[in-house]
Amino acid sequence: MNSRALSFQTRKAMQVHLGEQAGTELAELVNHLIVRIDELERSKVNVTRVVPEPEEPCIYNINSFRRAA
C-alpha cells in the first residue's frame, strides 16, 4: 500500500468507536477512494488551450447578422 493508506491504529479506532462492521466498512471505502484517486492522478493529462478563452462573453443580436432585403 502507499503512504496514504489508513494505518492499523486508525482502522482499529474506527472499529472501536463506530462498531466493528461500520468501522471496517468505512475503512474499506476510504481505502477504495485512495486507490481511485491514485489511478486518476496517474492518468491525468494536461490540457493546452488552442484558443484563448474570451475575457467577456460575446453577445450578439441575431438581427445584426441578417442582410437587409
53-62 residue pLDDT tens: 667 666 666 6
Q: Which domain holds residue 51?
A: 8-58
- Identify whether 66 is part of a domain: no
pLDDT at 65 over 80: no
Q: Structurally, how many domains does the chain consist of?
A: 1
Helix extents (H) in 1-69: 8-18, 20-42
* Domain presence at residue 20: yes
In this structure, which amino acid lies at residue 12?
K
Confidence (pTM): 0.57
Q: How far is CA 35 from the centre of its chain?
A: 13
Q: pLDDT per residue over 7-53, tens digit each? A: 999 999 999 999 999 999 999 999 999 999 999 888 887 777 777 66
pLDDT at 68: 56
Q: 1 in a domain, yes or no?
A: no
Query: Which amino acid does the sequence have at 3?
Result: S
Task: Assess if residue 68 is contained within a domain.
Answer: no
CA-derived radius of gyration, the chain: 26
